[in-house]
Structure 1
Amino acid sequence: MQDLHLRGDNLAKIAALVAYAQGKGLQVILDRHDYKRHSAADAWAFWRGVLPAFSADTLIELANEPVKEYPAGANQWMVSAQDTKDTVALFRANGITNPILYGSPGYSATFRFVKFKSAKAPAEGMGDAIDRVGGIGDPLNKTFFSGHRYLDSGSSGTKAACATAGDAGIGEWAASMRKRGIKGYFTEFAYGRHSGVPALCAEVGAAMMAAVKANSDVILGTTVWGGGRAWPEGYAFKVESPKGTFKTAADSPYVAQLTGR
C-alpha cells in the first residue's frame, strides 16, 4: 500500500480482496510499500485511516525495506529500532490490536539482523539495535520482524543464479531472534520460478526451506516473491504458470517446495 491507495474507492476494493482471501483461510499482510523511514506520528497518521476497513487479525507492516529519509548523520539501525518501539506503543495506546511487522535498514535482510561487533561500536544490525533500545515492548506480544533474503550475489534479487551456500543464514537469523525473544515472518525470498529451479539454486534453496520449517517456533510464516498478473512471463521469479494455464498447468516442484508439500 501507498498513500495513493487511500484515494477514491481504492481502499474499499482492497478491503474486499483482503476479506475474500481471509475467507479462504489465508493470513494477509498490508505492507506500506514506500521504502521510507516513518516516525511514530507519521505511521499513525497513515494507518489510522486504513485500519477501520480491516479486521483485527489483518497483519500490518509499517514499511517495506525502510532505507530512505533518515536524519543526516544518524545511525539508521538505532533510529529504526526506536521508531518501531515508539510506533508500537502509540498504536497499542490507541487500541490497535492488529499484529505488527517491522523491517529494517539494509533492505530488511535476514543476514543483516544478526550483524554485531561490540557494545562499544555503533549498531550495525536490527537485533543489536533492538537490544540497545530495550526491546520493542509490545504489551500484546504481537510485533514481528519482517525478513527478506535473496540468493544471488549481493542478495539483490535481480539475478536468477544463486551465489550462496548452506541454508543462506536462515538458521542463524532464527537463533538470533530466539535469543532475544523475537519472532518473525519470512516475507520476501525467491530462488526459482514455476517452471523450475536453476541448478545452482537447488541445494541452497532446499536447505533454506528446511531451515524455515525447522525453526517454525520463531519463523511464523512466509510470503514468497513474486506472484500476480502484472509480472511478465519472462520474470525470473514468477511463481505462477503462464497466463491462461492456471487450471491446466502441471504442478510446480518449486511451488511445492516453497509451501512445504
Structure 2
Amino acid sequence: MKLSSSLVSLSIILASANAAVTSKRQTNTCEGDLTPFELFGVNESCAEFGNTNIPGEFGTDYTWPAESSIDYFVDTVGFNFFRVPFLLERLAPPATGITGDFDATYLGQLQDIVSYITGKGAYVAFEPHNFFIYDGSTLDAKYTAEDFGTFWANLAKLFVSDDHVIFDLMNEPHDVEATLVAEYMQAAVNAIRAADATQLIFVEGTSWTGAWTWTTSGNSEAFASLSDPLNNTAIQMHQYLDSDGSGTNETCVSSTIGAERLADATAWLQETGHKGFLGEIGAGSNDDCVAAVYGALCSMQQAGGVWLGLSWWAAGPWWDTYFTSIEPPSGTSVSRILPEALEPFL
C-alpha cells in the first residue's frame, strides 16, 4: 500500500526512534513464561465528541476515524484492534429511545468505519461512550435491563455476519451500584446471544471500570457469576497511571505503578476464570511513564493468558498534541510510548 507523504515522514521518524532506543529495549526486557496478546491496538476517539450538542453536526461537533490512521496503525505499527466510541443519543435519538429506530446517517457512518477496519483484517469493538447515562439520567431511570438488551440485540443483528466485530456494552459506568451494572450487562449478553450473534462481548463495571478498584468497588462480587452460553465474554477494565487514576496528568506515580495497579485485578481474573481486556491505558511520554506502561504490559503477559490484550488511549483526528495521543502524524507520545512501551509486545 502506498503511504501518504506525512505517513512516510512519520515512518522515518519512528525508524530513528526505534534505533535510538534499541539498547534500552535490550535491558528493559520482559522475562518468564509469556502469553502474547490476542488483541492489541488503540482507541479511535472522535465520534463521541460534542456530547453537549445533540445530535450535533458532523465535522463540527464530532467526526469519525480517518482511514489513513487505520492504515498506519495496521500496516506500519502492526496493531490488530481498534476501539471505536460512539454517542448513544446520536445512534438512538431520545425521541424514540434506546429501543427505537437508529438514526440512519449516524448508523451508516458507524457501519462504514467498522467495515473499513474489519476489511483490513483487524478487529473493532464499538461502544456507547455514555458512562451509563442517557439523555441526562442514568439508564435505569427510564429503561430496564431488558430494554438495554433490546438495544444491543437490535445493533448486534446488523453485524452478526462479521466475526471481527466485538460488542463493548457500555463505557465506564460510575456512581451506580455494581450489582445494577452487572444486571444490565448480563441482560445485554443474553439478548445478543438470543439474536444469534456469536462474537466476543466486552462487559464493563462500575467505578469507571477501574482495574485498581475492581476488588474494592463491588465489581469483583457482582461480576464473578457473569455467564455466557458461548463462553465468549471478557471483563474490560481501564487503568491510568497518574495520582488519581484519571489519565489527565502526564506525571506517573512511579515507574512501577502500572503493574502494581493491575495486580489485584489480575489475581481476580485468575481466580474466577474470566478473561480480561485492558480497554484504556494512557500515560505521559517520560521515563517513569514509559517504564510503568512497559511494566504493566509485561505483568499482563506473565499472567497465564487471562488478559486478551489492550488498547491505548488514544488516537483520533482531533487529538492533536494531547499528551497521550498517538494519532499520526502529530501525536506527541509517538516518540517514546510506541517504540519503547508498546511495540516490544506486538
**2:128 aligned with 1:128:** no
User: What per-residue deviation string (whole Å, max 9, x for no partner) do you get for residues 145-190 of structure 1?
Assistant: 1110000011011100001434132233222111101001111011
Give the TM-score of the pair, scaled to structure 2. Answer: 0.62
> Which residue in the other structure is 1:73 paired with?
none
**2:265 aligned with 1:173:** yes
User: What per-residue deviation string (whole Å, max 9, x for no partner) do you get for residues 180-231 of structure 1?
Assistant: 0100111101123xxxx22332332221121122236111021110101111
Aligned partner of residue 28 in structure 1, secondary structure: strand
| Distance change in 2, residues 1:86/1:96 (3 Å) | same
* More displaced 10-residue stretch of structure 1: 76-85 or 32-41: 32-41
**2:286 aligned with 1:189:** no
Amino acid at match of 1:43: F
> Which residue in the other structure is 1:239 paired with?
326
1:88 to 189, 197, 208: 189
Amino acid at match of 1:239: I
Amino acid at match of 1:77: A
> Which residue in the other structure is 2:90 paired with?
4
Question: Equivalents in 1 of 2:187, 2:150: separation in Å?
Answer: 14
User: What per-residue deviation string (whole Å, max 9, x for no partner) do you get for residues 95-133 of structure 1?
Assistant: 232221111111010111122xxxxxxxx33112223xx
Structure 1 unaligned spans of 5+: 71-75, 116-123
Determine which structure has greater relative contact order: mean sequence separation of CA pairs < 8 Å that are 6+ residues apart, divided by chain length.
Answer: 2
Aligned partner of residue 113 in structure 2, secondary structure: helix
1:209 to 266, 276, 297: 297
* More displaced 10-residue stretch of structure 1: 156-165 or 222-231: 156-165
Whether the aligned pair in 1 keeps the contact of 2:236 and 2:276 (CA below 8 Å) is yes
* More displaced 10-residue stretch of structure 1: 21-30 or 140-149: 21-30
Question: Equivalents in 1 of 2:148, 2:276: separation in Å?
Answer: 20
Aligned partner of residue 110 in structure 1, secondary structure: coil
**2:155 aligned with 1:50:** yes
Whether the aligned pair in 1 keeps the contact of 2:290 and 2:336 (CA below 8 Å) is no
Question: Equivalents in 1 of 2:103, 2:328: separation in Å?
Answer: 32
Question: Equivalents in 2 of 1:22, 1:94: separation in Å?
Answer: 21
| Distance change in 2, residues 1:25/1:57 (3 Å) | closer
Aligned partner of residue 244 in structure 2, secondary structure: helix
Aligned partner of residue 202 in structure 2, secondary structure: strand
* More displaced 10-residue stretch of structure 1: 101-110 or 33-42: 33-42
> Which residue in the other structure is 1:64 paired with?
171
Question: Equivalents in 2 of 1:21, 1:253: separation in Å?
Answer: 26
Question: Equivalents in 2 of 1:22, 1:154: separation in Å?
Answer: 35
Question: Equivalents in 2 of 1:220, 1:42: separation in Å?
Answer: 29
Amino acid at match of 1:46: F
Alignment coverage as a number of residue pairs: 235
Identity %, equivalent residues? 24
Structure 2 unaligned spans of 5+: 1-85, 92-101, 133-137
User: What per-residue deviation string (whole Å, max 9, x for no partner) do you get for residues 13-61 of structure 1?
Assistant: 2212112211222111011111116543232232233223322441111
- Whichever structure has more strand as a proportion of its residues is 2
Whether the aligned pair in 1 keeps the contact of 2:153 and 2:195 (CA below 8 Å) is no
Give runs of ≥4 in structure 1 deviating > 4 Å: none
1:77 to 173, 178, 183: 178
Shift of residue 241, structure 1, vs aligned partner: 4.0
Question: Equivalents in 2 of 1:49, 1:83: separation in Å?
Answer: 16
Aligned partner of residue 208 in structure 2, secondary structure: coil
| Distance change in 2, residues 1:87/1:44 (3 Å) | closer
Whether the aligned pair in 2 keeps the contact of 1:31 and 1:61 (CA below 8 Å) is yes
RMSD of the alignment, in Å? Answer: 2.4
> Which residue in the other structure is 2:235 paired with?
145
